[in-house]
Amino acid sequence: MKDFKYYGLVADITAQQNAQASFLGEEFISIVNGQTRPVPFKLTLSDASVDRAELTLIYQSGGPSGAIFELPFSVSFLHLSKYHVHKVTHLHPGGIVSYAILRPPSPHAACRPGQSTAPVLLQLHGAGLEADNFIVGHALDPLPDLCAWVIFPTGVTPWSGDDWHTWGLADIRAAIESIPNWIKTMQWDGIGVDTEHWLVSGHSNGGQGTTYITTHWPDNVIGSAPVSSYLSIPQYVPFSFWRPMEPRLRMILDAALNTWKLDLLMENAKDILLQQQHGSADDNVPVYHSRLMYQLLGEFGSSSSNFSEIKGAGHWFYGVMTTESLTRFYKSILDDTTPNSLHDDFSFVVANPADFGSKRGFKIDHLVDPSQLGRVNVAQRSETITETVVTTENILQFSIDVTNPEVARHISIDEQTFDITDLSASEHVTFWWERGETRAKNWCSSINKTPPKFLRTGRQLGGIDALLRTKGPFVISYLKPEAFPLAVDISRNFHTYFYADSQISGSLPVDLPAHSGNRITLGLSTAFPEAREPWPFAIRLTSVNPYRLSVKNHEGFWHDITATEGSLAAIWVEPLSEERVHLMIWGEDIEGLKQAARLVPTITGVGVPDFVILDGKTKWKGAEGVLAMGFFDSFWNITASSFIAA
């Protein structure tokens, strides 16, 4: 370790007498050579009239006896009316500071008499833009009196983290949840905020993000306006030029992208009020995408969708978010007191449960096989809703909010009946199935039984991309000095693509600090830490001459895998405590380790399942050259749909 010089930031930040500054998160921040780390701090002003605060960051290099340096900097403030557009900061779940542009309701907002709260109007920017760009943050200036809390999230980065998906969606939620704190800090005395109901709109990639939220969180969306948007990455950037590969391998890669294939999930938006808009001359996102979305909604029987195709218009133009049709739509949604959901039949389709909220109180928690979509079909037996009839496809566990008036007191699930008449109105009911002796599905409920404790928890679902669902900075450990440069590369990539924070360590600590997030471990040759759970994990190192990984298939049999060309390598997710994820990257040698590390999630549209085992062939054959690839189920067992070269 003495070959690597560390720089430590002493937890000391000073400010002038009119301000107080303190670090957030770690008390001591270590930075290794070549690494970039954000330093989040909280600044409190004792005099709100000041327009500038002078601060000094004190840090030390070279360890406890190293030299101490001071880095002076300043923070400037603008004094604006509380009704003005504000740039506000908030903490992203990953432990970094992000920001959003917030416009509170004006004193002349067209709210209904007696209305106590206003919903959130989300405006999602396109790719490559910042939320504080004038054309983004002022896109709704022509509509100053909307009865809504207008917020322009940044998604952390100009590319919205990962196209408004896992990392970017977490930023959206954090921005919305920060509004009540702003109300308290500003001593706001106007209309309150309803943080659970959103009118979502966005342009280009923000339009795609709008549709993503609409299909994944339908209970929260009161209206949706995707503009100049696309439905799925494989259609916008065709994957048809990929190298040929065995159909089963293609299926696994496609399945890893299911949660981003919005064309497969459009049925979830059937009952939501939508206003699409697209220019007929768009040469960036072809109008085909919006036409397809409108067609799919029609095939599902939607009567609440409208499409405005503007003849001769391109991808973007001034006033693109405040056209006559969009203005009419915003106002109609914000003036409407009628809930979207009606007492009719519906379906809820889910890819990765960790990415989805609920629809009409139905929340899917676990799938039988994560490589295929899950679905609940809900029908009402009569107009008075005497019985709710549910049929399921690929569902292992789901829950129902029984406070929803659409849910009857008698529920039939795959022809099994449950009576929830005696339940308290504040309860949820969880249903799961166990294999019975006489039927394929034997449904159980939390009415009279304790739900099972699935080993794989919510934040751990969803392929290697689950790593991005972190709560706190990433922890990157390298177990041999040769892997140190690769650890720095991963940390630097996280900061480049997500502005994410990560701590680099040359050891594998027994206990993770409470503030730390998901973990990445770089194992090399014989440095192969075992999973920390009390069962034999499905992947293990069983030989070093030659190197051999053993993989346990869905039937419980172990398969030995060795390299057929070059060196053996692997990457997979495994569980940690408190729903954290451990991403294990291992290589027989440094070349294999580098090859596996290329699959660490940094950009969207690259579907990586739960585990991949590869060798030198993948350098030129791509996915066709993998030795094993697939998914873990809710008990961390490899699924039958996975691929293992036998």
**pLDDT top residue among 556 and 285:** 285
> Can you give the pLDDT at residue 4?
34
DSSP alpha helix (H) spans, 288-435: 288-299, 324-335
pLDDT confidence of 632, banded at 50, 70, 90?
very high
Q: What angle do CA 199, 202, 205 make, to 5 degrees?
A: 140
CA 46 to each of CA 12, 18, 128, 144: distance values in angstroms, whole numbers, following the listed order: 19, 5, 37, 32
What is the Rg, in whole angstroms, of the alpha carbon atoms belonging to the chain? 26
Task: Report all structural domains of the chain as residue ranges with CATH numbers, in order of start.
Answer: 6-76 (no CATH), 86-335 (3.40.50.1820), 346-445 (no CATH), 458-644 (no CATH)
> Can you give the pLDDT at residue 5?
38
CB 468: neighbour CB atoms within 10 A? 27
> Can you give the pLDDT at residue 618?
92
Work out the average pLDDT over 311-337: 94
> Can you give the pLDDT at residue 521?
95
pLDDT confidence of 435, banded at 50, 70, 90?
low
**pLDDT top residue among 335 and 440:** 335
> Can you give the pLDDT at residue 294?
96
> Can you give the pLDDT at residue 51?
81
With 80 as the cut, is the pLDDT of residue 340 above it?
A: no
> Can you give the pLDDT at residue 512?
57
Inter-helix orientation angle 205-216/166-177, to 10°: 80
With 90 as the cut, is the pLDDT of residue 453 above it?
A: no
pLDDT confidence of 533, banded at 50, 70, 90?
low
Work out the average pLDDT over 610-622: 94
Reference 245, options 540, 510, 529, 625; nearest CA is 625
Least confident residue range of 93-107, 224-238, 530-544, 608-622: 530-544
**pLDDT top residue among 514 and 443:** 443
With 60 as the cut, is the pLDDT of residue 339 above it?
A: no
CA 504 to each of CA 12, 193, 459: distance values in angstroms, whole numbers, following the listed order: 21, 40, 23
Reference 29, options 5, 12, 14; nearest CA is 12
Using the CB atoms, write b or e for 546-564: b if 16+ within 10 Å. Answer: ebbbebbbbeeeeeebebe
With 80 as the cut, is the pLDDT of residue 66 above it?
A: no
Ordered strands of the 86-91 beta sheet: 86-91, 97-103, 149-153, 117-124, 192-203, 221-227, 274-279, 305-310
Look up residue 326 and give its two tokens: 């969009």
Work out the average pLDDT over 188-204: 96
With 60 as the cut, is the pLDDT of residue 342 above it?
A: no
With 70 as the cut, is the pLDDT of residue 487 above it?
A: yes
Least confident residue range of 31-35, 73-77, 187-191, 341-345: 341-345
Average of per-residue pLDDT values in the chain: 88
Reference 636, options 440, 467, 460; nearest CA is 460
Please name the helix (run of DSSP H) or strand (run of DSSP E) that holds residue 557, with its range, or none.
none
- Distance separating alpha carbons of residues 211 and 205, to the nearest angstrom: 10
Work out the average pLDDT over 89-94: 96
**pLDDT top residue among 349 and 61:** 349
With 50 as the cut, is the pLDDT of residue 622 above it?
A: yes
Least confident residue range of 33-42, 47-56, 437-446, 508-517: 508-517
CA 268 to each of CA 48, 271, 348, 356, 525: distance values in angstroms, whole numbers, following the listed order: 47, 8, 6, 11, 47
Residue-wise pLDDT for 374-412, tens only, equals 999 999 776 656 788 999 999 999 999 888 777 778 899
- Distance separating alpha carbons of residues 528 and 544, to the nearest angstrom: 11
| Percent of the chain's residues with pLDDT above 70 | 92
Residue-wise pLDDT for 274-314, tens only, equals 999 999 999 999 999 999 999 999 999 888 889 999 999 99
> Do 7 and 62 meet the contact criterion of CB atoms below 8 Å apart?
yes
Query: Could you tell me the pTM of the whole model?
Result: 0.94
**pLDDT top residue among 192 and 239:** 192
> Can you give the pLDDT at residue 347?
95
- Distance separating alpha carbons of residues 358 and 215, to the nearest angstrom: 10
- Specify the amino acid at residue 419: D
**pLDDT top residue among 532 and 500:** 500
**Phi/psi at 71 (nearest 5 deg)?**
-120, 100
With a CB cutoff of 8 Å and minimum separation 6, the contacts of 641 are: 251, 252, 255, 369, 371, 372, 630, 631
With 50 as the cut, is the pLDDT of residue 501 above it?
A: yes
> Do 483 and 590 meet the contact criterion of CB atoms below 8 Å apart?
yes
- Distance separating alpha carbons of residues 603 and 269, to the nearest angstrom: 26
> Do 98 and 168 meet the contact criterion of CB atoms below 8 Å apart?
no
